[in-house]
Amino acid sequence: MNGGTEERLRSALAGLADTVQESPDAYQRARRQWRRRDLRRRALTVAIVLVMVVIACGVGIWALSGASPARHVIFNGDRQDSAQDRSIYPPGSP
């Protein structure tokens, strides 16, 4: 750029800057808006995580409630033979 173009641009921007009216509480308003948005974002994140946990627990309970108790025996309380293997597998499984 040559000197004349720079000077015209500088005077145009200075004239534009002179028309701007500053607000005394602009910083406080911007800070309040930022805090409000941040609080809203955090609350939304907590709500979404809570909904996901509730859904996961609900699916788990639904899956467990539909299971057959005869197929999922971990410990059988019968003491027929003391030498019997006390494993976590249900009777009849390999």
Kindly give the confidence (pLDDT) of every residue in the chain, 94 residues in length, as a single tens digit, with 9 standing for 90 and above: 577 899 999 999 999 988 988 888 989 999 999 999 999 999 999 999 999 999 999 998 988 887 666 665 566 565 555 445 555 666 666 5
Q: The tokens 């909904």 sit on which residue? A: 51
Please, which residues have CB within 8 angstroms of residue 91's CB and are 6 or more apart in sequence? 73, 76
- Would you say the pTM of this structure is higher than 0.85? no
CA–CA dist 74, 93 (Å, integer) = 11
Using an 8 Å Cβ cutoff, are 89 and 71 in contact? no
